[in-house]
């Protein structure tokens, strides 16, 4: 059995005010589908967060419909997907019984879970155990089980039902959406809970030949090489700029010893952080100037209209940071009475703070003196 493990598509995701649907469609159409075909995949596992929110935009739903249709109707590849914490389990589960006839197996709402999905290969049968994300309170109420108090006990309870009836010795694969302890989170992920009660132990999955996880956006192992996060479809924050995005290919032979490999894909526009001096950045060569970029300037002085000038070179510059212009120390005279100092003195304090206590040069003072004189003359005032 050859599986492709993907997760966290977040269709309908917004990035700095714009939808990423066209970027997502490029990866799914031009890389994901060809990868499924060229790698001769037998089944695709999508481990939750299909959409970015419970009410996704129409374009995101249309894209999902297109990809699922091409995958299952044209390529004839089964798809097993679960709902994540961003999805609406009820909406994602709509039509799940009908879709199962087309080998689209959806696990979302607790009352519609029907146990393992069995698929055959030349070596026999593989049992796939889907475990959608569910809040502990939902699981506790559904099973009427007071022992369910956190995400670990909730996952264990759903897993207990979902894996019931699997014959001893059969190869098993789990698909789950959870935060496994020890995993490295990204800043674009929505926390499952507050205070650490969202963590689950990787030992829950020790009896599976492979566990396909969703939720963490960085591709990584979770406990061992057979419990893994595939990561998100794209980079969804600048905190993910150094991550690689792609899919996990899993070969599961008859003896149940999974062989895991990684396949990277390239987005149409990357997400990058560019550090340096403003003039160096503007003069430097860059073959990918249309990427989504965060520019972090090292200049200590102000740059006039920096964002607009950067957009001439980087049309998709999303943010600008100037850490070199932030005060490095806390002044001890913050309690001064600004009403008792002149405007000139107030400005000089401000300039020193913005330039890490570097005072104005004589040339700058001369220039400012001229400006102050003009302002006072226009207002009919004199320097006090």
Phi/psi at 138 (5° precision): -65, -45
Distance CA 233, CA 314 (A): 23
Say what percent of the chain tops pLDDT 70.
92
CA torsion through residues 231, 81, 85, 161, sign: negative
Across the beta sheet with 227-229, what order do the strands follow? 117-121, 124-131, 171-177, 210-214, 227-229, 220-221
Same domain, 286 and 215: no
| pLDDT for the residue 334 | 52
Same domain, 238 and 313: no
At 329 the pLDDT is 46
Task: Report the relative pairing of strands 246-251 and 259-264 from DSSP bridges.
Answer: antiparallel
| Same domain? 310 vs 351 | no
Q: For the chain, how big is the Rg over CA atoms in Å? A: 28
Tokens of 67: 């990809």
Q: Which residues contact 10 (CB under 8 A, 6 or more apart)?
A: 24, 49, 51, 52, 86, 232, 233, 234, 236
pLDDT score at 34: 97
pLDDT, tens only, 307-352: 999 999 999 999 999 987 765 444 555 555 656 677 777 777 777 7
Query: 282 and 232 in one domain?
Result: no
pLDDT over 60 at 195, yes or no: no
> Is residue 330 one of the residues assigned to a domain?
no
Task: Please check whether residues 313 and 213 belong to one and the same domain.
Answer: no
246, pLDDT greater than 50: yes
Please name the residues in contact with 182: beta carbons below 8 A apart, sequence gap of 6 or more.
202, 222, 223
Task: Say whether both 174 and 115 belong to one domain.
Answer: yes
Summary mean pLDDT of the chain: 90
Please indicate, yes or no, whether residues 141 and 104 belong to a single structural domain of this protein: yes
Range of the domain at 307: 271-325
The CATH number linked to 192 is 3.60.21.10
Residue 126 lies in a domain: yes
Cα separation of 117 and 127, whole Å? 6
Q: Residues 115-121: what's their mean pLDDT? A: 96
Element (H, E) at 63: helix 58-69
Predicted confidence (pLDDT) per residue in 361-381, tens digit: 888 888 888 888 888 787 776
For residue 332, tell me if it sits in a domain. no
Q: How many domains does the chain have?
A: 3
Contact at 8 Å (CB) between 190 and 215?
Answer: no
Are residues 37 and 75 in contact, defined by beta-carbon separation less than 8 angstroms? yes
Q: Is residue 333 part of a domain?
A: no
């Amino acid at each position: 059995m050859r599986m492709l493990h993907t997760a966290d598509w977040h269709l309908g995701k917004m990035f700095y005010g714009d939808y990423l649907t066209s970027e997502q469609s490029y990866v799914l159409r031009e890389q994901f589908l060809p990868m499924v075909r060229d790698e001769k995949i037998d089944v695709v596992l999508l481990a939750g967060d299909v959409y970015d929110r419970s009410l996704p935009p129409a374009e995101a739903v249309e894209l999902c419909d297109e990809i699922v249709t091409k995958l299952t109707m044209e390529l004839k590849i089964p798809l097993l997907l679960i709902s994540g914490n961003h999805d609406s389990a009820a909406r994602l589960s709509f039509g799940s019984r009908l879709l199962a006839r087309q080998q689209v197996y959806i696990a979302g709402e607790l009352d519609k879970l029907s146990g393992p999905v069995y698929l055959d290969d030349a070596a026999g049968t593989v049992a796939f155990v889907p475990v959608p994300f569910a809040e502990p309170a939902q699981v506790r109420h559904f099973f009427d089980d007071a022992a369910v108090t956190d995400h670990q006990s909730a996952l264990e309870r759903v897993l207990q039902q979902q894996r019931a009836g699997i014959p001893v010795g059969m190869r098993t694969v789990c698909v789950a959406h959870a935060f496994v302890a020890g995993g490295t989170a990204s800043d674009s992920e929505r926390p499952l809970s507050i205070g650490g009660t969202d963590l689950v132990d990787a030992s829950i999955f020790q009896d599976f030949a492979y566990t396909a996880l969703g939720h963490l956006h960085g591709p990584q192992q979770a406990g061992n090489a057979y419990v893994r996060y595939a990561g998100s479809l794209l980079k969804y924050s600048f905190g993910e700029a150094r991550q690689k995005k792609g899919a996990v290919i899993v070969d599961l032979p008859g003896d149940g010893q999974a062989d895991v490999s990684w396949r990277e894909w390239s987005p149409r526009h990357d997400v990058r952080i560019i550090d340096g001096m403003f003039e160096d950045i503007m003069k430097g060569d860059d073959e990918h100037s249309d990427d989504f970029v965060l520019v972090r300037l090292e200049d200590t002085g102000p740059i006039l209209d920096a964002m607009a000038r950067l957009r001439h070179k980087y049309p998709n510059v999303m943010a600008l940071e100037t850490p070199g212009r932030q005060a490095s120390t806390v002044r001890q005279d913050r309690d001064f009475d600004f009403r008792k100092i002149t405007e000139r003195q107030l400005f000089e304090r401000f300039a020193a703070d913005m330039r890490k206590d570097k005072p104005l040069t004589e040339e700058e003072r001369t220039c400012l003196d001229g400006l102050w004189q003009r302002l006072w003359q226009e207002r009919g005032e004199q320097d006090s």
